[in-house]
Amino acid sequence: MMGLMEVLPRRCVQVAKRELLFLGPVGLVMYLGGVFFINRQRSSTAVSVMADLSERMVRENLKVWIYPEGTRNTNGDLLPFKKGAFYLAIQAQVPIIPVVYSSFSSFYDISTKLFTSGTIRVEVLDAVPTSGLTVADVPTLLDTCHQAMRSTFLHISKTPQGDGAAEGSGAQAAQ
Protein backbone atom coordinates (compact mmCIF):
# COMPACT_ATOMS: atom_id res chain seq x y z
CA MET A 1 0.00 0.00 0.00
CA MET A 2 2.71 2.45 0.91
CA GLY A 3 4.49 1.87 -2.40
CA LEU A 4 1.28 2.53 -4.28
CA MET A 5 0.94 5.88 -2.50
CA GLU A 6 3.88 7.05 -4.62
CA VAL A 7 2.68 5.81 -7.99
CA LEU A 8 -1.09 6.25 -7.89
CA PRO A 9 -2.37 9.29 -9.73
CA ARG A 10 -3.50 12.39 -7.86
CA ARG A 11 -6.97 12.14 -6.38
CA CYS A 12 -6.66 8.36 -6.06
CA VAL A 13 -7.14 7.14 -2.50
CA GLN A 14 -6.92 3.70 -0.93
CA VAL A 15 -9.27 1.96 1.48
CA ALA A 16 -7.77 -0.24 4.20
CA LYS A 17 -8.84 -2.04 7.32
CA ARG A 18 -8.68 0.12 10.45
CA GLU A 19 -6.21 -2.23 12.18
CA LEU A 20 -3.47 -0.97 9.84
CA LEU A 21 -3.83 2.51 11.33
CA PHE A 22 -2.23 1.20 14.54
CA LEU A 23 0.94 -0.19 12.95
CA GLY A 24 3.13 2.58 14.36
CA PRO A 25 4.94 4.64 11.72
CA VAL A 26 3.35 2.64 8.90
CA GLY A 27 -0.15 3.54 10.07
CA LEU A 28 0.82 7.19 10.48
CA VAL A 29 2.25 7.36 6.95
CA MET A 30 -0.90 5.73 5.59
CA TYR A 31 -3.09 8.18 7.51
CA LEU A 32 -1.08 11.17 6.30
CA GLY A 33 -1.18 9.72 2.78
CA GLY A 34 -4.97 9.95 2.74
CA VAL A 35 -5.91 6.29 3.21
CA PHE A 36 -9.54 5.77 4.26
CA PHE A 37 -9.78 3.31 7.12
CA ILE A 38 -12.75 0.96 7.51
CA ASN A 39 -13.68 -0.61 10.83
CA ARG A 40 -14.70 -4.08 9.66
CA GLN A 41 -15.95 -4.96 13.13
CA ARG A 42 -18.60 -2.20 13.03
CA SER A 43 -20.58 -2.41 9.84
CA SER A 44 -22.51 0.81 10.58
CA THR A 45 -19.25 2.79 10.77
CA ALA A 46 -17.91 1.11 7.62
CA VAL A 47 -21.12 1.91 5.74
CA SER A 48 -20.88 5.54 6.88
CA VAL A 49 -17.27 5.85 5.69
CA MET A 50 -18.18 4.30 2.34
CA ALA A 51 -21.19 6.60 1.90
CA ASP A 52 -18.98 9.63 2.59
CA LEU A 53 -16.39 8.28 0.18
CA SER A 54 -19.03 7.80 -2.52
CA GLU A 55 -20.09 11.44 -2.22
CA ARG A 56 -16.47 12.59 -2.34
CA MET A 57 -15.80 10.40 -5.40
CA VAL A 58 -18.45 12.27 -7.34
CA ARG A 59 -17.84 15.73 -5.86
CA GLU A 60 -14.01 15.69 -6.01
CA ASN A 61 -13.53 13.26 -8.92
CA LEU A 62 -11.72 10.83 -6.62
CA LYS A 63 -10.57 7.41 -7.72
CA VAL A 64 -10.60 4.68 -5.07
CA TRP A 65 -8.24 1.69 -4.79
CA ILE A 66 -9.85 -1.17 -2.85
CA TYR A 67 -8.62 -4.64 -1.93
CA PRO A 68 -11.83 -6.67 -2.39
CA GLU A 69 -10.59 -9.80 -0.61
CA GLY A 70 -10.28 -7.69 2.53
CA THR A 71 -7.20 -9.45 3.89
CA ARG A 72 -3.99 -11.25 2.99
CA ASN A 73 -4.36 -14.64 1.45
CA THR A 74 -1.88 -17.51 1.20
CA ASN A 75 -4.03 -20.29 -0.24
CA GLY A 76 -3.02 -19.91 -3.91
CA ASP A 77 -6.43 -18.70 -5.04
CA LEU A 78 -8.60 -15.64 -4.52
CA LEU A 79 -10.74 -15.40 -1.43
CA PRO A 80 -14.40 -14.44 -1.77
CA PHE A 81 -14.74 -10.69 -2.26
CA LYS A 82 -16.28 -8.35 0.30
CA LYS A 83 -19.30 -6.46 -1.02
CA GLY A 84 -18.36 -2.92 0.05
CA ALA A 85 -16.40 -2.01 -3.08
CA PHE A 86 -19.29 -3.02 -5.28
CA TYR A 87 -21.86 -1.08 -3.28
CA LEU A 88 -19.54 1.92 -3.50
CA ALA A 89 -19.13 1.64 -7.28
CA ILE A 90 -22.88 1.34 -7.82
CA GLN A 91 -23.67 4.16 -5.40
CA ALA A 92 -21.22 6.48 -7.19
CA GLN A 93 -22.16 5.04 -10.62
CA VAL A 94 -18.49 4.68 -11.58
CA PRO A 95 -16.85 1.84 -13.48
CA ILE A 96 -14.73 -0.78 -11.74
CA ILE A 97 -11.26 -1.25 -13.18
CA PRO A 98 -9.98 -4.61 -11.97
CA VAL A 99 -6.23 -4.80 -11.36
CA VAL A 100 -4.72 -8.23 -10.72
CA TYR A 101 -1.30 -9.00 -9.27
CA SER A 102 0.30 -12.41 -9.76
CA SER A 103 1.22 -14.61 -6.83
CA PHE A 104 4.27 -13.57 -4.84
CA SER A 105 5.05 -17.06 -3.58
CA SER A 106 8.03 -17.54 -5.89
CA PHE A 107 9.93 -14.87 -3.96
CA TYR A 108 8.21 -14.73 -0.56
CA ASP A 109 8.54 -17.44 2.06
CA ILE A 110 5.37 -17.31 4.17
CA SER A 111 6.90 -19.34 7.02
CA THR A 112 9.98 -17.13 7.48
CA LYS A 113 8.32 -13.94 6.18
CA LEU A 114 11.37 -13.25 4.02
CA PHE A 115 11.48 -11.89 0.49
CA THR A 116 14.01 -12.78 -2.19
CA SER A 117 14.21 -11.25 -5.65
CA GLY A 118 11.34 -11.97 -7.97
CA THR A 119 8.81 -10.61 -10.38
CA ILE A 120 5.18 -9.62 -9.98
CA ARG A 121 2.99 -9.49 -13.03
CA VAL A 122 0.22 -6.91 -13.04
CA GLU A 123 -2.71 -7.01 -15.41
CA VAL A 124 -5.35 -4.30 -15.73
CA LEU A 125 -8.62 -5.70 -17.01
CA ASP A 126 -11.30 -3.93 -19.00
CA ALA A 127 -13.51 -1.54 -17.06
CA VAL A 128 -16.76 -3.00 -15.74
CA PRO A 129 -19.54 -0.41 -16.08
CA THR A 130 -21.98 0.24 -13.25
CA SER A 131 -24.16 2.88 -14.91
CA GLY A 132 -27.80 2.11 -14.27
CA LEU A 133 -27.05 -0.70 -11.81
CA THR A 134 -28.79 -0.80 -8.45
CA VAL A 135 -28.06 -2.41 -5.10
CA ALA A 136 -29.93 -5.49 -6.32
CA ASP A 137 -27.17 -5.96 -8.93
CA VAL A 138 -24.33 -6.17 -6.36
CA PRO A 139 -24.16 -10.00 -6.23
CA THR A 140 -23.97 -10.28 -10.03
CA LEU A 141 -21.42 -7.49 -10.32
CA LEU A 142 -19.30 -9.03 -7.55
CA ASP A 143 -19.45 -12.46 -9.21
CA THR A 144 -18.56 -11.06 -12.65
CA CYS A 145 -15.51 -9.24 -11.27
CA HIS A 146 -14.42 -12.17 -9.11
CA GLN A 147 -14.58 -14.63 -12.02
CA ALA A 148 -12.62 -12.35 -14.36
CA MET A 149 -10.00 -11.52 -11.73
CA ARG A 150 -9.65 -15.13 -10.58
CA SER A 151 -9.16 -16.39 -14.11
CA THR A 152 -6.50 -13.73 -14.71
CA PHE A 153 -4.82 -14.39 -11.35
CA LEU A 154 -4.52 -18.10 -12.03
CA HIS A 155 -3.21 -17.43 -15.54
CA ILE A 156 -0.54 -14.86 -14.62
CA SER A 157 0.52 -16.70 -11.46
CA LYS A 158 1.63 -19.85 -13.23
CA THR A 159 5.23 -20.71 -12.56
CA PRO A 160 7.56 -21.17 -15.55
CA GLN A 161 7.16 -24.95 -15.16
CA GLY A 162 3.39 -24.45 -15.53
CA ASP A 163 2.42 -26.08 -12.23
CA GLY A 164 -0.25 -23.52 -11.44
CA ALA A 165 -0.80 -20.75 -8.97
CA ALA A 166 1.04 -20.73 -5.71
CA GLU A 167 0.51 -19.03 -2.39
CA GLY A 168 -0.43 -15.40 -2.10
CA SER A 169 -3.09 -13.62 -4.06
CA GLY A 170 -3.28 -10.12 -5.31
CA ALA A 171 -6.73 -8.87 -6.11
CA GLN A 172 -7.34 -5.18 -6.18
CA ALA A 173 -10.13 -3.19 -7.73
CA ALA A 174 -9.91 0.46 -8.53
CA GLN A 175 -12.94 2.60 -9.18
How many other C-beta atoms can be found within 10 angstroms of the C-beta atom of residue 84?
21
Q: Of 5, 165, 155, 149, give the one whose Cα is nearest residue 77.
A: 165
Cα 74 to Cα 77, 98, 110, 113, 167: the distances in Å are 8, 20, 8, 12, 5
Q: Of 105, 141, 135, 136, give the one whose Cα is nearest residue 120.
A: 105
pTM score, whole prediction: 0.75
pLDDT per residue of the chain (175 residues) written in tens, 0 to 9: 556 656 666 777 788 888 888 988 888 888 888 888 888 777 777 778 888 888 888 888 888 888 888 777 777 889 999 888 899 899 999 999 898 988 887 787 778 878 888 888 889 999 999 999 999 999 999 999 999 999 999 999 885 444 443 444 555 555 5
Buried/exposed 96-130: b ≥16 CB within 10 Å, e otherwise: bbbbbbbbbbbebeeeeeeeeeeeeeeeebeebeb
What is residue 74's predicted lDDT score, i.e. its pLDDT? 72
- CATH code, 2-159+170-174: 3.40.1130.10
What is residue 162's predicted lDDT score, i.e. its pLDDT? 41
What is residue 108's predicted lDDT score, i.e. its pLDDT? 79
* Domain edges within the chain: 2-159+170-174
